[in-house]
Structure 1
Amino acid sequence: MTTDASLSWSGPPAQTGEPAGSDGPHPARRSGQRRETRKRVPWVLWLPGSIAVLFLLLPLVGLLIRAPWTGLAHLLSERSVRQALLLSLRTSTESTVLSLVFGVPLAWLLARTRFPGRTLLRALVTLPLVLPPVVGGVSLLLVLGRRGLVGESLESWFGFTLPFSTNGVVVAQTFVAMPFLIVSVEGALNSSDRRFEDAAATLGAGYWTTFRRVTVPLVAPAVAAGTALCWARALGEFGATITFAGNFPGTTQTMPLAVYLALETDPDAAIALSLVLLAVCVTVLVALRARWLPGTRLIMRLRAGRTDPPAAADTSMITTAEGDDTHSDGSGGPR
């Protein structure tokens, strides 16, 4: 039994021929089967699929065509636009940090623990995904407002108010965006192969070491993807923000609110602001595709059994390091 083991998984073992422990075909044959399957796509699906593509892309094309490219630099240099952009970047980043601090532990509890009412709690946590943002803003106002269930106590005891303030924007964005992170991390935890963690425990690793050196690296791509989605959703939040925090330039007026206000008075400015938000969203999606989705696909391949985890007796993938607290009893000896 290895003592004081600090786990460091260097990746799946090299495969030659048939994958170890797998009854499936050779990877090259699987690739050929996938190509053959793609060739057999029913032609009847192309028509509705093409209509869906046009429906989703034509509004974006119209935005690009009608954009005031010649005066775009001048419109984006206006003071109100800069204030809205900087405020949006600040509040969306703060709300993402709050979502990471509180959302990741909640996702772990939902995925790895069993307690009465867990299914109901999961449904309630993901409710903001389908709840109209305006309804979410009204709910926040009834709880955290100056006469709300909690807000009244905050104001009377500490003189602290959230509605119609920059902090209120952060709270509204966090309420709407955090479920995106929770769903991503919980799905990754449910899909990750528990055999890696079991192997770590068999080799003498404590609970905290297993979590830090095995579980976190496995779900890191999903955490990164969920963080990006959470940030992008917070950046584009409108309904809950205007209901709970209002629309005050320089204080609560974010980019979506500035677009809505400019659309009534200066359509060219509204289009320019929309282009900025569009560029940010496209950048986030490209980053997800290029960096984090491959890691998520690796997790799914491990879950499907296409790559074997390190066996409990295979100590070639385990490196020992002095000073790690790897035993839950703190004795330093084998459990």
Structure 2
Amino acid sequence: MAITAKHQASNLITRLTALWAVSESGLGGLFHAMKLPFSGLILGSFAVMIVTFLASHSDRKFRTIVQATLTVVLIKAIASPHSPLTAYVAVLFQGLAGALIYSLFRVNCLSSVFYGIIALMESALQKLLMLILIFGKNLWEAFQEFLTSLAKQFGLQGLEHLPLFIVGGYCLIYFCGGILAGVYSIALPVAIRKRAEELRYQTVKVTAPEIPKRKKKNKMKLLGIMSILLFIVTVFAFSGSVNKAVYSLLRTFAALALIYLIINPLFTYFLTRWKDRTRNSNPGNLQAVLAFVPAFRNHARTAYLYAEGENSYLKKVKIFLLTWMALALFCEE
């Protein structure tokens, strides 16, 4: 009996790890097809739910979560080898933060909310940090100078503080998302089992669509960087700050060269070596997780059909995640 319970717990942990891996290596394309805003916020919240689920079903929380995190990173490197460094950093932070928090505190609403806030705020601040690294304070100065000139021209008060409000609002969205993810994580296991019971009496007759592949965003990222850089240079040029415009150009190109010509190649090299060594030295756990990946992708397509008929974005996300996890964790067929 104990052996059966231990086997069931191990099987559940393997399935949860595979779910997390599928979400990190390809679920963004499906969310794009569903036209869901803030897909990155949803994926981060999903990671919080998975890690909390892992913690609540494991006696050795730290080891279980760290092993799952490394397995997800490995599968992400296999399935999406061209993912940026920041994507791996986010996954590692989410996993290690969850392992540390849940090894120190019991799994309850308070600890899960704390974890949700930490995990999602890191995701938000990571994006802001990249902007600072690439553009420095020139981006902030350009926006302030531009909005100050508009405020003077049209007699508007407080417009020059708009960048601060935008950053504050952006962080507030992720902060609230972390609270919601933490609260929902505690109720998730019961909700999934309830959804699994409901699905036993439901059928979907429509052929499920393929999960759309993410298109390469390198061109869009480059266009975005060039547009922001053009905006900064234009603002400084019209205000007479030619030196600032030249400095902004040189600094941005130096930051991009550092990231794409030095840091990314080094990271890719060491990641590839670690990936090859891990696949050869410990293939058992990896193969067990990979065995579930094709079926879980099919489950995602089925869950998409249940969710696409909903009008509310929140309802779409809720129905999709509950259906997908119920099919993957508790429904054999």
TM-score bin (small chain) = under 0.3
What is the TM-score of this pair, normalised by structure 1? Answer: 0.27
- Name which structure has the greater RCO, CA cutoff 8 Å, separation 6+: 1
What is the TM-score of this pair, normalised by structure 2? Answer: 0.27
- Who wins on radius of gyration, i.e. which is larger? 1
- Structure with higher helix content: 2
